[in-house]
Amino acid sequence: MKLFIAVDMEGATGVTCWDHVDPKGAEYNRFRHLLTADVNAAIEGALAGAGGAIDRILVSDGHWNGGNVLIEELNPEAELNSGMISPFSMVEGIQDGHWDIAMFVGYHAMIGTRNAILDHTWSSTRVANLWLNGALVGETGLNSAVCGAFGVPVLMISGDQAVCGEAANWIPGIETAVVKQAQGRTAAQCLPPSVSGAVIRNAAEKAVRGYLGLEGGVVPAPVIVAAPVSISVQFAFSHMADSAILLPGAKRLDGRTVEFTSPDVPTAYRSFRAAVSLANVQA
């Protein structure tokens, strides 16, 4: 069995503010250790759940510049995808096509979620809302759909209670590992790493056991989005839509909203990322 792990940072153990996840932040390096420990906990749990029968693990580092996970501390069973800009960004490597299962570690809720640590969707300065075939989604929804396009189900997610609730609604049967209870966008009651590590490890183990038919309950299916795939981006400001509309195929829905219709999710993903990249923060 082959395991793909997509990693973000806002949902890592102890993270409550941008200073913790911004490479220029004074606290950032502390949280790289904590994030890597969360990833290792997921790996250990998955290996335990599979009785060791996982022959390949890829960790894809999708936060900021993709250079957050400390390779020198990473479980040696795993390889690490690091750096940006990569073709599939937060799920780089999924396109290799040989993964059986996926897990999301350190994830955060979509923009606009109440009581959610650092809630945003891709860019907190540019994206006001995102819809996939009419459904409001965040990074969990979008990235799980990309995994689904390659036939890979997402079995487990870790982060705060908000992203775990969002994932449970979007992916029936997903195991959730809540490492903090957010009380606002930058305030949370956090589990210490020795405890959150056990929570993640247990969730990953249970998820893999469920996938293998060793536990009861619903096994998550790959997220399949029907074609043609429509992706709509509402930007923070109309001048951002002015830029995004330069892309071939872009359709302006209103002052701030641009829509793309694509034959499949990977193409829609590219359109979305290109549109957000074009959108200048300065008017």
Residue whose CB is less far from Zn ion, 8 or 160: 8
In the stretch 154-173, what mask flags binding to Zn ion with x, by CB under 5 A?
Answer: --------------------
Options 8-16, 125-133, 222-230, 237-245: segment touching Zn ion (CB under 5 A): 8-16
Nearest Cα to 60, choosing from 129, 127, 128, 152?
A: 152
Q: Give the H or E element holding residue 142.
A: helix 139-149
Chain residues 89-128 in contact with Zn ion, contact rule CB under 5 A: none
E-assigned strand segments in the chain: 2-7, 56-61, 78-81, 101-107, 127-132, 135-136, 154-160, 175-182, 188-190, 229-235, 251-252, 257-262
Q: Return the residue matching tokens 């469920």.
A: 210
> Is 63 a residue that touches Zn ion (CB under 5 A)?
yes
Give least dist CB 11 to Zn ion, A. Answer: 8
Residue whose CB is less far from Zn ion, 20 or 63: 63
- Residues composing the chain: 283
Cβ-closest position to Zn ion? 63
> Is 209 a residue that touches Zn ion (CB under 5 A)?
no
Rounded distance, CA 153 to CA 232, Å? 24
**What secondary structure letter does DSSP report for 95?**
G
Query: 3-state DSSP call for residue 4?
Result: strand
Catalytic residue among 20, 63, 108, 120: 120
Give least dist CB 37 to Zn ion, A. Answer: 17
Options 7-15, 125-133, 213-221, 236-244: segment touching Zn ion (CB under 5 A): 7-15
Among residues 3, 7, 8, 159, the one that binds Zn ion under rule CB under 5 A:
8
**69 contacts: CB under 8 Å, gap ≥ 6:** 7, 32, 35, 36, 39, 59, 61, 80, 82
Options 22-30, 61-69, 198-206, 237-245: segment touching Zn ion (CB under 5 A): 61-69
Query: 3-state DSSP call for residue 234?
Result: strand
Residue whose CB is less far from Zn ion, 109 or 258: 109
- Establish whether 120 is a catalytic residue: yes
Give least dist CB 212 to Zn ion, A. Answer: 31
Rounded distance, CA 235 to CA 47, Å? 41
> Is 20 a residue that touches Zn ion (CB under 5 A)?
no
Active site residues: 120
Q: Using CB under 5 A as the criterion, which residues of the chain lie in contact with Zn ion when the complex forms?
A: 8-9, 63
